[in-house]
């Protein structure tokens, strides 16, 4: 149970003043549902604005406060698209104040035509037009705006304003309890860090590196400690030795020889399976590196040894694809395989459950439906998890907890992460790397093209579709607000639909899951020819007929993300092309990213380069990428502080593995604070 001392932090956001149903939603979008989350919603940055009399005195990219007179309101097409308020400065420069989504209501109220207002925000340029997107403040007189120097800027979602978030943060900070110190005393005094509550307060107030470091360290320590607990628990568990005689594997009729990397990985897995400590191994390999065959061989070892194996996929579509592939490959072996998803009902389902229970079915592929309580196995020896990052470690543990003996676990991921981060994300696992592609893979032609030539690209696309190919169109990352991405995707979708009609489908994060699945399935079936998407394109979906990918404003994407996106094409025998459309204003880093993309198709290399280019400061994984292991710690902090946290955790485990000493108690509080309490639960179970 969560220590009572944390109750005030884990109270719901509704307990803060001024949080009604209207505010709850936008807060939830930011992942802020409890007081704790608000306290940890640290400012993205701090701004100091420069007051100017007119826009000639300001430069593009600068934070300013400027008096403007409103001249006109222009609503977006059919309520979609941006809402623009045109305004003039004292010498006649026109500037557009641009709003997306519901924010336009605020604009209507705050900016009546003919009135003068002081507007605070970042001056941008869009084509020829000066613009300020979502001004931070609009006021009738300047006094209030000009006096705030060093103002925090928080990430927002539609329906929230900066002052609102400031108010909530202030309330959350007022409720911080006194928590015991969990950091090792020597480390704590050497680093000269503030105590926990002080660190949070300082981090909201201004740029305070020591406070930020402390908070990041807490997060890293919580993670290291939880992973250490998993590992310790795993050592205590009993698994079954699985030693295959090769009888089934020798019957496989693979149309290709295995690569060296595949052979090595299989040997490593075999070694683990032969132990009576349950395996915890991660198989890391870029898209197309051939993870499926490795999984197949591992599962056959289990079957040869008389056990069953299960392959868990994150989505129905992926489960189905895996099932078809594996069934084909298994045909010469006669091994019985079944597919089980949430959709299976009635008789068919019953007979599969029976087969798993009596052991007739040796291999099952499915979504998490395969681990519902109603599913019992005769002797489950191995669990393979595809696209591991979609499932939390905690979920994996509940899987592991099902039998008397713990099954071996092989997790697979196509996300090549740099070596320094492997420890952070998968600290408790052994890692096998498929760092060699099967031979004869067609390289994907990657070209960088200026956005000016967009219509030319549409023609090229038309020719491809005409010729029977399929294509992806990835829409730009517009701004900090997710909605703007969706607006951009919808606008592009509408335009392409005009040209290509029903052959186009759209996928983005705010669609209902069924709608998303339906669109994906139409595309996978070849019924839809063009898939327009934000960055949510399903990991791992394999459409070999898709040979063209166009990515808009490619320079705004991280390198690792571009690589992941590009991996959707080049999966068939046809030559594939990836077109990176670049915007006009290309930063040095943006330019370098695109050049690297043109140069290399090696995911591990690109991941290391991504890390180098992001360097210090920037948060790991933009908000869009969803699989960042940490919310607070930046890449730079991970590299600098993780080794310390790791050692600290290990030391604590050695001295006080049961977390029973006063510092152990404090560490428990930390684990709950960062919701790594599955670590604590293991303690009790063991
Ligand atoms: P991923 O690692 O992305 O899951 P897959 O297992 O789906 O990759 O393999 C991608 C493709 O490469 C499949 O068509 C598979 O049959 C093929 N493949 C796998 N291993 C080899 C190999 N050693 N030589 C040639 N082709 C291979
Ligand atoms: Mg795969």
The sheet with strand 445-450 has its strands ordered as: 445-450, 577-582, 546-551, 470-474, 530-533, 504-507
- Ligand 1 atom 5: the closest Cα is on which residue? 290
Categorize the per-residue pLDDT at 162 as very low, low, confident or very high, splitting at 50, 70 and 90: confident
pLDDT number for residue 620:
35
Q: What residue segments make up the domains of the chain, in order of their start?
A: 4-45+168-205, 48-151, 209-236+631-681, 249-434, 445-600
> Tell me, what's the pLDDT at 625?
37
**Residue 291: nearest ligand to its CA?**
1
Task: Determine which residue's CA is closest to atom 25 belonging to ligand 1.
Answer: 438
CA nearest to 483, candidates 623, 620, 376: 623
Whose alpha carbon is nearest atom 27 of ligand 1?
A: 438
Q: Which ligand is nearest to the CA of 311?
A: 2
Instruction: Give 148's DSSP letter.
Output: -
CATH topology for 4-45+168-205 is DNA polymerase; domain 1 (1.10.150)
- What's the pLDDT at 147? 63
Token couple for 306: 């008389």
Mean pLDDT of 287-314: 94
Q: Is pLDDT of 414 > 90?
A: no
pLDDT of amino acid 686: 40
Q: Is 125 helix (H, G, I), strand (E, B) or coil?
A: strand
Give the pLDDT of residue 403.
Answer: 59
Query: In Å, how far are 93, 106, 129, 278, 528 from 69, measured between CA atoms?
Result: 10, 17, 16, 70, 48
Q: How far apart are the first and last CA of the chain?
A: 16
Helix (H) or strand (E) holding 581: strand 577-582
Residue entry with tokens 């930046």: 634
Q: Is the model more confident about 217 or about 443?
A: 217
159: its two tokens: 């329906």
622 pLDDT above the threshold of 50: no
User: Quick one: pLDDT at residue 346?
Assistant: 87
- Give the distance (Å) from ligand 1 centre to CA of residue 257: 11
Most confident of 176-185, 417-426, 601-610: 176-185
Domains 48-151 and 445-600 fall in the same CATH topology: no
Rounded to the nearest angstrom, the gap between the alpha carbon of residue 515 and the centroid of all alpha carbons in its chain is 21
494 or 537: whose pLDDT is higher? 494
Q: How far is the CA of 168 from the centre of ligand 1 (A)?
A: 51
Q: Which CATH architecture has domain 249-434?
A: 3-Layer(aba) Sandwich (3.40)
Kindly state the average pLDDT of the residues 174-195.
95
Rounded to whole angstroms, how far apart are CA atoms 339 and 325? 12
pLDDT digits (tens, 9 = 90+) for 202-260: 999 999 999 999 999 999 999 889 888 887 888 888 889 999 999 999 999 999 999 99
Average pLDDT over residues 460-477: 92
DSSP 364-420: EEESGGGGSTT---S-EEEEEEESGGGS-HHHHHHHHTTSSSPPEEEEEE-----HH
Query: 293 CA distance to ligand 1 centroid (A)?
Result: 7
Q: Which residue has the higher pLDDT, 100 or 532?
A: 532
* 557 or 200: which leads in pLDDT: 200
Q: Which two tokens stand for residue 392?
A: 């939390």
At 395, the pLDDT band (50, 70, 90 cuts) reads: low
> In which element (H, E) is residue 19 found?
none
Average pLDDT over residues 452-460: 93
Q: Which CATH superfamily is domain 48-151 in?
A: Nucleic acid-binding proteins (2.40.50.140)
What is the 237 CA–ligand 2 centroid distance (Å)? 29
Give the number of the atom of ligand 1 that is nearest the alpha carbon of residue 286.
2
* Tally of residues, the chain: 686
- All residues at 6 or more sequence positions from 571 whose CB lies less than 8 Å from its CB, including other chains: 288, 542, 543, 544, 546
The ligand 1 site (C-beta within 6 Å) comprises 256, 258-259, 262, 285, 287-293, 414, 438
pLDDT in tens, 547-601: 999 999 898 888 878 888 898 898 878 899 999 999 877 788 888 889 999 999 8
Q: Which residue has the tokens 């697979």?
A: 412
CA of residue 262 to ligand 1 center, whole Å = 10
Out of 157-166, 301-310, 443-452, 610-619, least confident range: 610-619
Kindly report the average pLDDT of the chain as a whole number.
87
pLDDT value at residue 621: 36
Pair 54, 89: CB distance under 8 Å: yes
Q: Residue 627's pLDDT is what?
A: 44
∠ at Cα 191 (188, 193), nearest 5°? 70
How much is the CA Rg of the chain, to the nearest whole Å?
A: 27
What is the reported pLDDT for 626? 37
Alpha carbons 554 and 581: distance in angstroms, whole number = 6
Topology (CATH) of 445-600: Rossmann fold (3.40.50)
List beta partners, residue 432.
283
- Answer whether residue 402 shows pLDDT above 60: no
Q: Which ligand is nearest to the CA of 293?
A: 1
Ligand 2 centroid to 297 CA: how many Å? Answer: 14
Nearest partner of 33 among 18, 16, 17, 48, judged by Cα: 16
């Amino acid at each position: 149970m969560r220590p009572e001392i944390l109750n005030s932090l884990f109270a719901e956001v509704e307990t803060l003043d001024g949080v009604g149903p209207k505010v709850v939603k936008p807060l939830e979008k930011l992942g802020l549902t409890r007081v704790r989350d608000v306290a940890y919603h640290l400012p993205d940055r701090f701004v100091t604005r420069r007051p100017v009399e007119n826009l000639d005195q300001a430069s593009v990219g600068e934070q300013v406060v400027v008096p403007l007179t409103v001249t006109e309101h222009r609503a977006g097409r059919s309520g979609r698209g941006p809402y623009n308020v045109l305004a003039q400065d004292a010498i006649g420069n026109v500037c557009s104040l641009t709003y997306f989504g519901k924010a336009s209501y605020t604009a209507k109220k705050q900016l009546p035509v003919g009135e003068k207002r002081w507007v605070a925000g970042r001056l941008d340029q869009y084509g020829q037009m000066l613009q300020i997107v979502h001004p931070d403040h609009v006021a009738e007189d300047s006094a209030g705006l000009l006096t705030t120097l060093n103002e925090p800027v928080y990430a927002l979602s539609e329906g929230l304003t900066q002052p609102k978030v400031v108010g909530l943060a202030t309330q959350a900070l007022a409720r911080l309890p006194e928590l015991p110190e969990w950091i090792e005393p020597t480390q704590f005094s050497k680093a000269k860090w503030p105590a926990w509550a002080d660190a949070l307060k300082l981090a909201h107030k201004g740029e305070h590196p020591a406070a930020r470091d402390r908070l990041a360290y807490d997060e890293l320590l919580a993670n290291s400690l939880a992973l250490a607990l998993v590992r310790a628990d795993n050592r205590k568990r009993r698994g079954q030795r699985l030693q295959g005689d090769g009888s089934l594997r020798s019957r496989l009729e693979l149309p290709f020889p295995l690569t060296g990397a595949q052979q090595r990985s299989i040997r490593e897995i075999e070694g683990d399976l032969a132990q009576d400590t349950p395996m915890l191994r991660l198989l890391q390999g870029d898209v197309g590196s051939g993870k499926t065959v490795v999984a197949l061989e591992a599962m056959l070892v289990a079957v040869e040894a008389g056990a069953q194996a299960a392959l868990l996929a994150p989505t129905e579509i992926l489960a189905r694809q895996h099932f078809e592939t594996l069934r084909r490959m298994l045909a010469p072996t006669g091994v019985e395989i079944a597919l089980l998803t949430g959709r299976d009902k009635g008789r068919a389902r019953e007979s599969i459950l029976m087969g798993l229970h009596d052991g007739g079915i040796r291999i099952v592929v499915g979504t998490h439906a395969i681990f519902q309580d109603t599913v019992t196995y005769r002797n489950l020896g191995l669990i393979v998890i595809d696209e591991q990052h979609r499932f939390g470690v905690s979920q994996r543990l509940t899987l592991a907890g099902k039998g008397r003996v713990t099954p071996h676990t092989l997790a697979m991921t196509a996300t090549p992460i740099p070596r320094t981060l492997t420890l952070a994300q998968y600290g408790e696992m052994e890692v096998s790397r498929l760092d060699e592609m099967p031979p004869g893979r067609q390289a994907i032609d990657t070209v960088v093209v200026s956005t000016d030539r967009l219509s030319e690209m549409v023609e090229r696309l038309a020719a491809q579709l005409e010729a029977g190919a399929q294509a992806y169109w990835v829409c730009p990352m517009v701004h900090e607000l997710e909605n703007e991405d969706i607006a951009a995707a919808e606008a592009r979708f509408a335009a392409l639909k005009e040209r290509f009609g029903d052959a186009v489908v759209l996928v983005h994060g705010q669609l209902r899951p069924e709608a998303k699945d339906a669109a994906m399935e139409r595309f996978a079936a070849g019924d839809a020819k063009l898939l327009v998407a934000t960055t949510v394109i399903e990991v791992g979906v394999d459409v070999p007929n898709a040979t063209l990918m166009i990515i808009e404003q490619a320079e705004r994407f991280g390198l690792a993300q571009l690589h992941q996106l590009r991996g959707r094409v080049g999966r068939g025998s046809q030559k594939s092309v990836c077109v990176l459309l670049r915007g006009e204003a290309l930063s040095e880093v943006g330019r370098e990213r695109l050049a690297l993309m043109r140069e290399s198709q090696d995911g591990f290399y690109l991941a290391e380069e991504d890390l180098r280019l992001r360097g210090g400061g920037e948060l790991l994984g933009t908000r869009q990428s969803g699989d960042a292991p940490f919310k607070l710690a930046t890449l730079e902090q991970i590299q600098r502080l993780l080794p310390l946290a790791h050692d600290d955790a290990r030391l604590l485990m050695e001295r006080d593995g049961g977390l029973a000493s006063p510092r152990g108690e404090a560490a428990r509080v930390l684990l709950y604070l960062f919701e790594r309490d599955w670590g604590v639960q293991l303690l009790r179970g063991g």
